[in-house]
């Protein structure tokens, strides 16, 4: 009983691992929300894009996020639940398998939605490049979200914040140059290209 109370007191102390992780997760949420506002301010006010192009970009990002959310399924929960009790190789294998299945699922979902929209006549304003970018966003979100699940399972969410810092910086930097180069799907492409930057940011993560 005494040991349990002592353990509970340690967990509840300011500066404990739980408090640090909570602070990192809170910072991550605040950073994502703030730079999201900056991103949409840039594309609406300074990128020289029309309202139709911005609205289309928002649609593509939303579709990609929807695809990624469905594709990751419960793999993040499985990682959080099983990684702490797994060996290093077992944790890596679980994450690789989850990412592989999630990415394939995202690709299939995006293709299915594109075909269904075409059949229903609802894709008049969504170009093939838009569907390709939506699929890319979904796949990259699966990767980054499952990375975050691994960091949480390992008890070090500082890597989640570092990943989001890279994503946020890229998301703020990319829209204007992409708009100046007149790439198609400017808004969604800027969002998508920021995701691999964030996925590569935690490449130095080492299990303790």
Residue 205 has pLDDT above 50, yes or no: yes
Distance from the Cα of residue 18 to its chain's centroid: 23
Pair of tokens at residue 74: 């419960």
Q: Name the more confident of 167 and 9.
A: 167
Closest of 167, 133, 134 to residue 148, by C-alpha: 167
Contact (CB, 8 A) for 131 and 62: no
Contact (CB, 8 A) for 59 and 126: yes
Residue 11 has pLDDT above 70, yes or no: no
pTM of the model: 0.86
158 falls in which pLDDT band (50, 70, 90)? confident
pLDDT tens, 30-82? Answer: 988 898 899 998 888 888 888 888 888 999 999 999 999 999 999 999 999 99
């Amino acid at each position: 009983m005494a040991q349990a109370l002592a353990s509970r007191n340690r967990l509840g102390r300011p500066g404990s691992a739980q408090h640090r992780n909570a602070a990192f997760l809170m910072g991550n949420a605040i950073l994502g929300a703030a730079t999201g506002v900056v991103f949409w301010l840039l594309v609406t006010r300074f990128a020289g894009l029309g309202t139709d192009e911005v609205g289309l970009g928002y649609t593509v990002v939303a579709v990609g996020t929807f695809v990624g959310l469905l594709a990751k399924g419960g793999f993040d929960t499985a990682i959080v639940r099983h990684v702490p009790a797994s060996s290093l190789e077992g944790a890596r294998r679980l994450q690789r398998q989850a990412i592989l299945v999630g990415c394939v699922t995202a690709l299939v979902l995006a293709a299915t939605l594109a075909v269904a929209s075409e059949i229903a006549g609802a894709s008049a304003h969504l170009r093939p490049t838009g569907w390709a970018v939506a699929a890319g966003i979904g796949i990259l979100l699966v990767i980054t979200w499952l990375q975050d699940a691994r960091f949480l399972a390992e008890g070090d969410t500082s890597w989640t914040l570092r990943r989001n810092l890279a994503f946020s910086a890229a998301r703020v930097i990319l829209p204007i140059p992409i708009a100046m180069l007149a790439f198609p799907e400017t808004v969604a492409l800027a969002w998508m290209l920021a995701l691999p930057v964030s996925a590569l940011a935690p490449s130095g993560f080492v299990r303790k």
